[in-house]
Amino acid sequence: MTDAPTKQKLWGGRFTGKTDPLMHEFNQSLKYDKRMYDADIRGSIAYSKALALIGILTKDEEAQIVNGLEAVGKEWDDGVFQAQPDDEDIHTANERRLTELIGPLGGKLHTGRSRNDQVATDMRLWLMKEVREIEAALKALIQVIVNRADKERDILMPGYTHLQRAQPVRWSHLILSYAFYFAADLQRLRELVPRISVLPLGSGALAGNAFVVDREFLAKELGFDSVSENSFHGVGDRDFVAEFMMWASLMMTHLSRVSEDLIVYSTAEFGFVTLSDAYSTGSSMMPQKKNPDSLELLRGKSGRIFGNLSGFMMTYKGIPSTYNKDLQEDKEPLFDTVDNAWASLRIAEGVIATVEVHGDKMREALTMDMLATDLADYLVRKGIPFRETHHISGRAVALAESRKCHLHELSLEDYKGLSDQFTEDVHGVFDFEASVEKRRAIGGPALVMIDRQIETLQAILNQ
């Protein structure tokens, strides 16, 4: 009868002294990497099957290990798994518990495998699942924007450059611009997946697997697109972590810019939108206040997520080849980025779905000087070069300002004094709806182009 193994760390055979308790706490990662328990169980089940295929395990041993791993996974699912003081990480904890359940046979599972290829596999498996959830949240946000744009296509508002009133546009055109930023994020996220979905398992500690496990079988079993071709690269690569955090930083930048727009437009000075109470808070001192805290937090979270990326990159840049313990610092920033990116998308979806739009306030903010470009275009259609018509239109604006009146209040004689090409139809220029509808080129705010934008976005969502 084989004696039960004494409790020791996976790497403990070489060492005779005890680990400093502070070092153990400093070194251990179970407190945060336990969230990968399901990925670790799945990877170990697949690996046990691969070991059986090459004769390291019998079919009966494989069945015992698989059943034991499933039991460990259920303990995690049910919230009853009991971590032990010597559990350094999720891999140690799961293997320790497996051995408690099925005996020394559990020790065979690690044959040819290292925590180096195991953790890289777990992280990729975990992130692949999280990316699917983030993709769903991103698509839901885009769909909410598309739905609002479709329903509110007739609302006119000022378009701004430099935060100065520029030209009349549609509210739907503004919010569809947000959707196109997020659609690009969606495309980039989908393009990330093949680079995340690369199997490291079978790379060993650094020099490959001495038992020649079928890595293509492992990839198929775990749903990976491909297998890492170089064992050094397999255990040392965290580009997928950096790339996902780069993606999240850019996506959060877009959320931050949207938030800034809505914060500005929700002020009393603009009054274009009102946030739902569900996404606002009050002041602890001023009873009248309604603060856009949801949007301010979205704006703030963008800095946090970029900070995760920049911090990790400072760690990653100086690591020698293969696995080094520095790479343990990849998990907390990645986990935090995933959590906050997903939550931010869901909050943004809620904000945009419930925001109240004040079309009357938007229309009131339209002023005739915003049609100065249309006035210049009027003369272009008469055959005058745009550089000249721009100058003439500017003189009309200056004349109206000197008269303390609006452009449409200048008389035909006033206009003829600026150019003999002005005729009685000049006052037809001063129509906001007509101005917007003239912009029917692809990308413009005319209704036909709003329809085109919606169709384009819907096609991206349906891919």
Catalytic residues: 162, 283
Coil/strand/helix, residue 57: coil
Rounded to 5 degrees, φ, ψ at 424 are -60, -20
* DSSP designation for 406: -
How many residues make up the chain in this entry? 463
Q: What is the bridge-based pairing of β-strands 156-161 and 198-199?
A: unpaired
* DSSP designation for 428: G
C-alpha 352/C-alpha 175 separation (Å) is 9
Using a 10 angstrom Cβ sphere, with 0-12 exposed, 13-18 middle and 19 or more buried, the burial of residue 456 is middle
Residue 394, token pair as written in the block:
């500017």
* DSSP designation for 214: -
Coil/strand/helix, residue 85: coil
Q: What is the bridge-based pairing of β-strands 356-357 and 273-274?
A: antiparallel
DSSP labels, 239-304: HHHHHHHHHHHHHHHHHHHHHHHHHHHTSTTT-SEE--GGG-B--SS-TT--B-HHHHHHHHHHHH
Using a 10 angstrom Cβ sphere, with 0-12 exposed, 13-18 middle and 19 or more buried, the burial of residue 159 is middle
List 160's β-bridge partners, or say none: 165
Residue 242, token pair as written in the block:
């950096």
The answer to whether 42 and 125 have CB atoms below 8 angstroms apart is yes
CA dist list (Å): 118 to 18, 249, 380: 26, 28, 68
Coil/strand/helix, residue 159: strand
What single letter denotes the amino acid at residue 93?
A
List 156's β-bridge partners, or say none: 170
* DSSP designation for 169: E
* DSSP designation for 11: T
The answer to whether 92 and 81 have CB atoms below 8 angstroms apart is no
List, in sequence order, every beta strand (DSSP E) within 40-178.
156-161, 164-170
The answer to whether 9 and 92 have CB atoms below 8 angstroms apart is yes
